[in-house]
Amino acid sequence: MLEVLIVGGGPHALILATLLSNPQQHVSSSSADIFQGIQLSKSRSKSGRPRSKKRHTATTLEEHNQSTSPPCPPLHFKVVDSYGEWASLWESQFTALRIPHLRSHTLVHTDPLNKKALQEFVLETDRVAELRCLPERIYIQDENAFFNDNRLGKRDKKLLSAAAGLQKSLYFSLPGTQLSVDFFKEQVRRYTLDHVLIKGTVDRITPLLSETQKKVEFFRVTLDTGDTVDAKRIVMATGPTRAQMANIPSWVSAIAESYPEERLQHTVDLMHLYSRHKTLGTPFTGPPPVCCLGQKVMVVGGGLTSAHIISMALQQGASHVTWVLRKHLQLKQFDVGDVESLIGRYSHVEHGIKLDGLAYLRQFYSERSLHRRLAMIKQARKGGAVTPEAYANLQPFIQSGQLLVRAYCQVTEAKWCYEAQGWKVSLSDGEKWSGDKIWLATGCKLDVNQDPLLSDVVKEFPIQIIEGWPCISETLQWAPGCPLYLMGQYAALQVGPHAVNLAGGQAAGLRIAKDIIGEHSGEEEHREAAKVEKTEEYLSHMHGLMWL
């Protein structure tokens, strides 16, 4: 029987697998200073030279911890993934949507044991050219979009200068997608994680309970092949990108007519396209077709994915694209917060309170009301957003009239016309649209009550759920007696608004690994973990990662 089974083989699963495969190194860093070195921007003097004293102190602390930590027995764990390959779905998304680079900078990656791992990989492989510098400043103010990055002072704006040297490039640059994929593969090789990955799609997770008390003895996981895997603990690291979790607007289900499936699609299907073909042994090159030459296309949604779909449609010869958004078009370099929050030293205002990134997280972790935490999450993320660069690339098409942005607008009704073989759509602003193809870039819905993999767990161990968000423990465990752990967006009420991003994956991985390894090694401090103030520890997980 397995000690742990991780469901999903994406970046979050890779972070946790790295920690579980090195339990001694994790236990030796119980002070949450598991990362090698403190925030890089703080580890150098104003002249740019490394501060040897800080580096020496961190090394000494690490050596001291390793010398005093008790031995930890190895953990027998596996990772099950539908495609049988690490981060396959991520790579598929990059390829399908033609995403040139990540949205997170080089300090945020999948190796939780070495903060500088990605930077070192870039230098060792001589791939600095594949880093994209953050823009020094971008101003886009028009009737469609709102963007503000004018709070950086003249002295501090150099931190984001695109004309800077290698130091600034490595600190706050965005790695190219192929560079990131290669880094994932190198991490798998470095920590010998290929052998823990098994191919299979999980159909059901069944908790088998003790006869004497309400406690899980083990979980039985049923795969699509009919095979079963038994494990003492389960970690859900699948993310809300499964096809059945796609957020489908109500007007779609109200369409009375039958229509060709390829004429109305959700981007989730596109994200799985390359991985499916790869699994079947029929990979294809080039971008996937999102439209045909001369077609009129509608794209619904305001996130970065919608901008990628629009760009591809225009490149593939769409005669006209209509972009429908519920609100204004929000421009943001990162998913959470802004540039000031990223660096962690610039104040911003949330709920009328002037905060910097660290103060914001401290307030979040100190807040005991999960309803208020959910409100803070919504405020921090503010819905879907497009990067300034992606929007700038679309501006020529907006100016030429080939792309029409309909902000503060929604689809109220859609009908398929058999004779014209096209769509007739009514919009909330009273306008009508007729065209050939509709793309839904409306994201995925988060609701544990609707997740088939969690249905048996919800039945046996009911917990409070707020608007679909599970109220799990600080260790990210489902409930006492039920050692099922959640990563990604499901863990947001405990991890924070960045839970779905790579930084959130590192934070969640550290919490889960500490709990599992602590229990596995029989540490007494694990028994008292709930009684210890955790805010500062959780903040330390975010050193150098603010925000993303």
CA 90 to chain centre: 10
Span 107-131, average pLDDT: 90
| 352-361: Cβ within 8 A, 24+ apart | 357/546, 357/547, 358/539, 358/542, 358/546, 361/496, 361/538, 361/539, 361/542
369 or 57, which is more confident: 369
**Order of strands, sheet of 411-417, starting from the edge strand that comes earlier in the sequence:** 411-417, 422-427, 432-435
pLDDT digits (tens, 9 = 90+) for 170-225: 666 888 999 999 999 999 999 999 999 999 999 999 999 998 888 999 999 999 99
pLDDT grade for 548, boundaries at 50, 70 and 90? very low
Tell me which amino acid residue 193 is: L
* Reported confidence tier of residue 144, pLDDT bands at 50, 70, 90: low
Contacts of 269 (CB under 8 A, 6+ apart): 243, 246
Element (H, E) at 211: none
Report the pLDDT averaged over residues 142-159.
41
Domains of the chain, residue spans:
2-116+175-241+446-540, 247-335+385-440
More confident residue, 193 or 267: 193
On the question of pLDDT at 58 being above 50, the answer is no
Q: Which amino acid is at 481?
A: G
Give me Rg for the CA atoms of the chain.
24
150 pLDDT exceeds 90?
Answer: no
Range with the lowest mean pLDDT among 13-27, 447-461, 514-528? Answer: 514-528
DSSP classification of residue 2: E
Residue 546: the pLDDT is 55
Reply yes or no on whether the pLDDT at 545 is more than 70: no
Position 350 scores a pLDDT of: 43
Asked whether residue 515 carries a pLDDT value surpassing 70, the answer given is yes
pLDDT tens by residue, 403-445: 999 999 999 999 999 999 999 999 999 999 999 999 999 988 8
Alpha helix stretches (DSSP H) within 453-501: 455-460, 492-495
Q: Are 489 and 499 in contact (CB under 8 A)?
A: yes
Q: Taking all residues of the chain, what is their mean pLDDT, rounded to a whole number?
A: 79
Condensed to tens digits (0 to 9), the pLDDT of residues 351-365 reads 444 456 677 788 889
- Give the tens place of pLDDT for each residue, 373-414: 998 888 777 777 888 788 888 999 999 999 999 999 999 999
Look at residue 275 in the predicted model and tell me its pLDDT: 64
Residue 385 makes CB contacts below 8 A (sequence gap 6+) with 302, 303, 304, 330, 331, 332, 335
Among residues 416, 410, 453, the alpha carbon closest in space to that of 429 is found at: 410
Provide, rounded to the nearest whole percent, the portion of the chain with pLDDT above 70. 73
> With 50 as the cut, is the pLDDT of residue 73 above it?
yes
Residues in a beta bridge with 423: 416, 435
Percent of the chain with pLDDT strictly greater than 90:
47
Q: Which residues contact 323 (CB under 8 A, 6 or more apart)?
A: 298, 299, 306, 310, 403, 404, 405, 406
Q: Cβ contacts of residue 53 below 8 Å, gap of 6+?
A: none
2-116+175-241+446-540: CATH topology is FAD/NAD(P)-binding domain (3.50.50)
Domain 247-335+385-440, second-level architecture:
3-Layer(bba) Sandwich (3.50)
Res. 281: pLDDT tops 70:
no
- What is the predicted pLDDT for the residue at 209? 95
Residue 324, beta-bridge partner list: 300, 406
Determine the pLDDT at residue 153. 38
275-295 mean pLDDT:
75
